Structure 1
């Protein structure tokens, strides 16, 4: 596509392929690097990966390389005609990418910045002799193949949840019985937790295979022990194969079992002990060196009762790279691209685990107001974007993130509470704090009786099937400022669906986990007691750097 309409030679044309005898793409004599994008945006693979690709293009252009971008999505920044030196609008398939590589003869191709789509091409590219820059194809396979990854974990001494692999429904039942319910079940080699489920019993496992997946030797199903009452942490790091630098350690706010792309997270972590943090740092370095990672790596951990478990290792850019980079002011994707092009960490002047000038909270953005679906979160990713809140305290940062995500927390009004029996003891101190702030509490029959026995004042409200006016009626009439609902079990989830949908329809903020409720209480207290200020991200980073230089 000639961006100059044939009037004079275009400096930034973009290309597409066709089965013709003549090629209008003329390769230059410059040293080139090809970057594979992420393809179409979808749940699980969005604009976060495009950010990484654009940052890599800018860094490699500064380093003197001719940058060639391959992507098929016109709604991304990487496919703007003037971002890269050369742009190919092509499907991210092995055939199409190989044709470009045969023509351009680049120094190498980068596959680790566009998510799972280009990563799946790595093995085929290597088999056809294409130079894959960064982490080796074998290292990628060691991280993604379950049996080989278990071996890596044994070598580095990492704890993992009990797990197994099944190629049939019968084998899955045997593995699940051996591990013990509940289990986390998912197909291998997927992004965004597609078809991932938490299974609590045999009948549910059988329904899963009937409705969600078909297991086979070519498409095995991974089965892990589900760590109840755990919380997760995410780590992004840089490695050149010899040195490893931690970019940031993020703590998930939602409990384990909620997909990492849907859970709010905080940087720096605010509940992890010093021992757990040190173990996470050491384990991350061991994984990077054992796998020979060159570029970016993401590791996900679960922490229960102070014990750290490794959930998965991704030898590629993660969807948290933009968040960590903006929170710390360290451009991880740019640095990773220079490492993949041959530079060493020692040459890049990268500090170990850069400090955060305050507290940064990442919150997911959901399309629930457009789709008639339940708002309960689980292991299958459902968010379509993310926002960021930044402040000096966790409470205010979380409040800002909620505002940005469209879930504005109230500063007064009535709060409806309907939680499962297991959460009653946990939520009661939070409700006392809310009552002290002047909020009026309304509770369903069981919760109301529990609070009354403990001396907490609350008005009783009917559930949907108990009488009128019920919870939905109060939401519809605008009486309610906040809904706290934590169902337990399949039937309870269905019973409470009407109230959660009503909350979405009428713009009532809602909380569906105890961890999110605790964070929201901190935010409400901060809104009442803290002076609010708005500062740009650049101003925060620059002021922190000035203080650091003075020190």
Structure 2
């Protein structure tokens, strides 16, 4: 379908200040949206309250309003600017909530403003816990035993019906805000009260806690003609109960049998079709590791943190494609900028492993609880790409800026190993490694942590290698295997009782191309591996001097989106001066 020419002027709602669960990924999405809208000749009006964002630059929109993101402000801007359309799915939960409030009040209809992309009905069916549950029942998609509540007494009655322990999930919130796990009624009274207060519609879902099930995500895209594809599968290393933002996440999903993968993929496609979402959405599933039983956890009908990770992991520009769909284009009309040949209807294929590792703020809050649960605590994340899970994990740990270049970390307390292993905290990966080095079997570790044994076996590969290195010292063979597993030279020398670093092979750089090498990529986007063919050497480089710009890494307290802002402006200026610019960063949320 050609572009909808009736869309002349669009109001884009940003995401406001950085909070836990809502960081630079929405500036990444908003910047893509504003640039694309203007390139399509659409007058663009932006409202956001965060001055450190790229999207609030004067050249990003025809009019930029640095104003509080509340109903009164947005109403004033609509009355003044008179847009015909509102794009809400780019500003995260903030944009969605404001759009829904304006729609339900009748303000948008009164002023002739329509929601483009995902409709108000689709947002409601996705975010309202009861409507979502009803929609899933209609298409035969299983959900976890649960019930919605708008007051404390209903929450208590629901918990008694489904049985303790339960997870409390507030509606229309971000990062699991206000949620938690309740083991009994006393705990539920506290958690449910917080959840009801956090939800803008005072609604919580009381859900049976299915401890030990896997958590799987699918990023899905649908256009207005009903064409739908899956962009990326992702798998949490931690089981259900830990917020996906606090879990180590891998892409693609690595522990699923083909039948399990196809079952969940088909479910994700059916869900986005039933909800009527136009654009991108994130579907989250719980999968019983001992059977083919699964349940739908929730759906985010908007660009999210997972969307940014999936975009960088595959090279598929989710936010850009979602905006094109909002303008009326179909997937087969949207060209893939990476290959320049394929279109957005091609499902990405990747021939590498991506690991996302959270960045937690516990170093800033000494003595605070490090235990993880349904409410997100991480302030940011790093992304690493490797040819194996071990190599990608080691790279992610090094990049997280936690002063670790291996998985060897001293315990922070003197509790017995089994007790520490049972604790769901940010140090669990290192505790697992400690247990394996102390002779625990992978079966024992998996039974205590409920982490899939495949991941434990891969971590054991690292423990076994270190044991061999300690016995035999650093030889040409152990050095090569250590590099393939992701160990830096300094760590190999430190862990070895003797030996030297042999003549080094140069690092090779592989290209992210969305199609596993089937088509030639025109946009250079590289990750490092040890040995093999180097794609970067065959990539034609522009003439002139080259300058490397170093990014700022993961978002943490004291270092936020403002450094992404600075990096982007630095790159732009250097390119305008005629330089070839290379940027190095490991934060998937950045512009």
When the two structures are superposed, what TM-score results if normalisation uses the length of structure 2? 0.69
On the 8 A contact 1:396/1:526 being kept in 2, the answer is: no
Aligned mate of 1:234, from 194, 217, 222: 217
2:159 aligned partner: 176
Aligned mate of 2:180, from 181, 187, 197: 197
* Mapping for residues 89-488 of structure 1, pairs under 5 Å: 89-126=66-103, 127-128=106-107, 129=109, 130-209=113-192, 219-241=202-224, 242-304=226-288, 305=290, 306-348=292-334, 349-372=343-366, 373-407=368-402, 408-410=404-406, 418-420=417-419, 434-435=436-437, 441=438
2:563 aligned partner: none
CA distance in 2, matches of 1:486, 1:374: 24
Note the C-alpha offset of 1:299. 0.9
| Residue correspondences, number | 451
Deviations 1:361-412 (A, max 9, x none): 1111111111122222111111111110101111111111111113425377
Q: Which runs of 5 or more structure 1 residues have no equivalent in the other structure?
A: 1-28, 436-440, 442-447, 455-483, 489-511
On the 8 A contact 2:151/2:196 being kept in 1, the answer is: no
Q: Which runs of 5 or more structure 2 residues have no equivalent in the other structure?
A: 1-5, 335-342, 467-480, 487-505, 522-591
Note the C-alpha offset of 1:542. 4.6
CA distance in 1, matches of 2:150, 2:277: 30
On the 8 A contact 2:125/2:275 being kept in 1, the answer is: yes
Deviations 1:405-436 (A, max 9, x none): 13425377878971249969x99xx779954x
CA distance in 1, matches of 2:391, 2:199: 49
Aligned mate of 2:50, from 62, 73, 89: 73
On the 8 A contact 1:395/1:526 being kept in 2, the answer is: no
Note the C-alpha offset of 1:31. 2.9
Deviations 1:197-224 (A, max 9, x none): 1111223223435777569995133200
On the 8 A contact 1:328/1:357 being kept in 2, the answer is: no
1:540 aligned partner: 511
On the 8 A contact 2:171/2:205 being kept in 1, the answer is: yes
On the 8 A contact 2:397/2:406 being kept in 1, the answer is: no
Distance of aligned partners of 1:88 and 1:214 in 2 relative to their CA distance in 1, 3 Å threshold: closer
2:531 aligned partner: none
Distance of aligned partners of 1:518 and 1:377 in 2 relative to their CA distance in 1, 3 Å threshold: farther
Note the C-alpha offset of 1:68. 2.2
When the two structures are superposed, what TM-score results if normalisation uses the length of structure 1? 0.74
1:56 aligned partner: 33
On the 8 A contact 1:232/1:303 being kept in 2, the answer is: yes
Distance of aligned partners of 1:135 and 1:421 in 2 relative to their CA distance in 1, 3 Å threshold: closer
Give the root-mean-square deviation of aligned CA atoms: 3.5
Distance of aligned partners of 1:164 and 1:108 in 2 relative to their CA distance in 1, 3 Å threshold: same
Q: Secondary structure at the match of 2:273?
A: helix
CA distance in 1, matches of 2:252, 2:238: 15
On the 8 A contact 2:16/2:48 being kept in 1, the answer is: yes
2:536 aligned partner: none
Larger RCO (CA under 8 A, 6+ residues apart): 2
CA distance in 1, matches of 2:236, 2:121: 30
Note the C-alpha offset of 1:78. 1.3
Distance of aligned partners of 1:256 and 1:57 in 2 relative to their CA distance in 1, 3 Å threshold: same
Distance of aligned partners of 1:161 and 1:222 in 2 relative to their CA distance in 1, 3 Å threshold: same
Note the C-alpha offset of 1:266. 0.7
CA distance in 2, matches of 1:294, 1:246: 13
Q: Secondary structure at the match of 2:363?
A: coil
CA distance in 1, matches of 2:257, 2:233: 12
CA distance in 1, matches of 2:120, 2:462: 45
Distance of aligned partners of 1:170 and 1:272 in 2 relative to their CA distance in 1, 3 Å threshold: same
Deviations 1:278-303 (A, max 9, x none): 12211111111112111111111111
Note the C-alpha offset of 1:105. 2.8
Q: Secondary structure at the match of 1:152?
A: helix
Distance of aligned partners of 1:384 and 1:534 in 2 relative to their CA distance in 1, 3 Å threshold: farther
On the 8 A contact 1:386/1:405 being kept in 2, the answer is: yes
On the 8 A contact 1:53/1:113 being kept in 2, the answer is: yes
2:17 aligned partner: 40
Note the C-alpha offset of 1:176. 0.9
Larger radius of gyration: 1
On the 8 A contact 2:211/2:240 being kept in 1, the answer is: yes
